[in-house]
Amino acid sequence: MRTASHLKSNKLFSLQKIYAALRKADTILLSEIGIVATLSDMKKCNGWQQGFTLLELVMVIAVISLLVGAGLHSWLGYRQAMLLEQNARQLLSVVGRIQTQANWRNETLIARIQRVGERWCVGPGTSSSDCPAGSALFFIPTSRDVELVDATAQQFAFFGLRHTAQSGHLTLGNAAGRIRLVLSVRGRLRLCSEGRSLLGTPLC
């Protein structure tokens, strides 16, 4: 009987110790939560979580504006250079077709600069002063930004005999720079850029 009662009292004592330990742990946990909450409130009061200041926002916006402006300027310059080079290659192609016809027919053909109002074109030398759109033998600039800024003559002759030609050049230009179409006496046609190299076009 004593042994049973002794065991019973030991179990009761153990349960009381466990209960006391749990209450103590709960008290410590609540205390730690209170400390964390107090620190959080202190941070908010001290402005640790207030985000960017007005000056910082202005500086960020200014930096972004500079980067966007520089990128836009670079893109516009590249677009103008591409437009100029494409038109110069189209002019080279048209003049080359006129030269090929002169060689094939073995006769003299003329490539002439023609103007109709504000428009201008380069095509075969005929009595007509029109600039027909869509013709493979006429070059019409695809943009008003591309201008004929220089030409050594208003017309250039291609002689079917020995593939020779009248020497000279035509220069196209826009905000990106200038590209020159050079015609040699031997009938060679080539493109070169004036002043500085422009995309894939070498310097003159």
User: Where in the chain are the domains?
Assistant: 1-33, 66-194
- Reference 142, options 86, 200, 71; nearest CA is 86
171 close to 194: Cβ distance less than 8 angstroms: yes
111 close to 124: Cβ distance less than 8 angstroms: yes
pLDDT along the chain (204 residues), means of 10: 46 51 49 45 50 76 78 79 94 93 91 86 76 83 91 92 89 94 93 88 90
pLDDT at 20: 56
The residue assigned the tokens 């079917």 is 160
Amino acid at 67: L
- Tokens, residue 94: 């048209």
Is CATH 3.50.50.60 correct for 66-194? no
pLDDT at 191: 95
- Reference 172, options 71, 50, 106, 80; nearest CA is 80
130 close to 115: Cβ distance less than 8 angstroms: no
pTM value is 0.64
